[in-house]
Amino acid sequence: MLSKLALNCDALNKVLEGREIPKEEAYEIFNISQYESAEIFETAKILRNKNHGNVVTFSKKAFFNLVNLCRDTCTYCTYKADPGESKLSMMSIKDVQNLAKLAKKHQCVEALFVTGERPEERFELARSWLKENGFANTVEYLVFASEIALAEGLFPHTNAGNLTKHELKELKKSNVSMGLMIENVSERLTEKEMPHHLAPSKYPKERLKVLENAGQLGIPMTTGVLVGIGETPFEVIDSIYAIKEIHKKYGNIQEIILQNFHPKPDTIMKEHPSAEENYFKTMVALTRIIMPEMNLQIPPNLSPTSYERFLSVGINDWGGISPLTPDYVNPEFSWPEIKTIEVNSQNAGYELKCRYPVYPEFFSMVESSLVEKMSEINDGTNLVGENYWR
C-alpha cells in the first residue's frame, strides 16, 4: 500500500505542477482513492481555486419542455412520455410565447429547450402536432421557438439529442450554446439489458460525432457524464478522456456536468441504487484533476443536503436553476431557491455569480448579433449584471 500511495503523490504532484496525466495514472489515482481520498479531494480543490478563484456560477433559466416524446428508451429515463400519459408535454407556439414572457418577467437569462430524440420518427402524434404548428420536424420548431425566446430577451440553449451538422448550424444562429450529455462512452452499456441498449442515439460513436460536428462549427457545448448507471469507475474516466480529446481538437467544450444517478419509480432501473456519494465525489475530483481548467457542474437539486460540499472537490458551477419551472428530467428533485444556494455557497467561502448559458471565455464562438444582445445585461466581464438577476 505504501508504494501505491507514493505513486499517487507523484501523479498528483505532476498535476499541481501543471502537467497532464495519462489515463493510466488517472486509473491509478482512482485505485488509491479506495484507501485514501483526502489527498485527491485536496488536489481537486487547489486546482479548482487556482483556475476559478472564489467564484461559483449558475444560470437563471426557464425550462421549455417542448416535446417529451422520444424514439429511444434509456432504462433510467423518466423524462420521456408516451402518448396519453399525464406527463406528456407538447408545447404550442402560444405556450412557448407565454412561458418566454413569464421567464422574462422573472428576469431569467436562459431559455433551455429540451426535447426527446426525434419524436416524429416514432409517433404519428408528433408528426401531426408538428404539422398543425406548421413545421416539418422538431428541429424546425426548435429554431422557431428559439427565435421567440430571443425576441423576448432570453438566450436559448438547446438540448435535443443527436442533431445533424446541418441542424446544429441552423440552431447556432439563435442559440448561444448547446448541450449533449455523452452519458458514458462505454459500448458495454449498450449491450442487452444495459441502460442504453434500446437507445441508439446513446451509442458512443454517434454521441461523440455530434460533439465533433459542434466542434467543427465552433459551437460552445455543454456535455457530461451520468454517474451510477452500472458503469465501472474506469468507464467514467474513459468518458472524461474522450471529452478531453474533443476539447483538445476543437476547444469548444465549455462545461462538463457530472450527474449522479437516482432511480425513478416508473423506469426499468427503479431498483438500481442511487450513485453512492463518496464514489460520486471521487469522480468529480478526478474530472477536475484530468481537466484542471474545465468548468465543472453538479446539479444541486440532486444532492440536496450536501451540494455545497462539492465546492471543495472541484466544481465551479451549479448549472441552470429555475425560479419558475420544474426540472422535468428529475421531477422529484425541485431546485433550491437561488438565495439559499447563494447563502450556502457563501458559507463555503464562494461568491455566487450569474452567467449566461454560454461561459464568458466562449463568447468569441457566439454569433455577433447574439453577443450584442447579451451586452444589454452584461456586467462587463461577460457575466450577467447583478441588478438584472437579483
Q: In the range 75-94, which residues lie near ligand SF4 by CB under 6 A? A: 77, 79-80
Please state the closest distance from residue 164 (CB atom) to ligand SF4, in A: 16
Exposed (0-12), middle (13-18) or buried (19+): which is 212, by Cβ within 10 Å? Answer: middle
Which window, 66-74, 81-89, 290-298, 371-379, contacts ligand SF4 (CB under 6 A)? 66-74
Question: Coil, strand or helix: which one is 51?
Answer: helix
Residue position matching grid coordinates 460520486: 280
Nearer to ligand SF4, 160 or 352 (CB): 160
Which window, 72-80, 84-92, 267-275, 320-328, contacts ligand SF4 (CB under 6 A)? 72-80
Q: In the range 352-381, which residues lie near ligand SF4 by CB under 6 A? A: none
Check residue 215 for interaction with ligand SF4 (CB under 6 A): no
Please state the closest distance from residue 116 (CB atom) to ligand SF4, in A: 4
Please state the closest distance from residue 386 (CB atom) to ligand SF4, in A: 35
What size, in residues, is the chain? 390
Quote the strand ranges of the chain, DSSP E: 55-67, 110-115, 155-159, 177-179, 221-227, 253-260, 296-297, 317-321, 351-354
Residues that contact ligand SF4, how many (by CB under 6 A): 12
Would you give the binding string for ligand SF4 spanning residues 105-144, x where CB under 6 A is met? -----------xx---------------------------
Check residue 159 for interaction with ligand SF4 (CB under 6 A): no
Nearer to ligand SF4, 228 or 292 (CB): 228
Please state the closest distance from residue 148 (CB atom) to ligand SF4, in A: 23
Check residue 74 for interaction with ligand SF4 (CB under 6 A): yes
The CB-side HSE value for 331 (13 A sphere, CA atoms) comes to 11
Check residue 73 for interaction with ligand SF4 (CB under 6 A): yes
Q: CA-to-CA distance for 237 and 287, rounded, in angstroms?
A: 8
Check residue 31 for interaction with ligand SF4 (CB under 6 A): no
Nearer to ligand SF4, 124 or 376 (CB): 124
DSSP secondary structure string for all residues of 87-150 = T--B--HHHHHHHHHHHHHTT--EEEEEE-S-GGGT-HHHHHHHHHHT-SSHHHHHHHHHHHHH
Residues binding ligand SF4 (CB under 6 A)? 70, 72-74, 77, 79-80, 116-117, 161, 199, 201
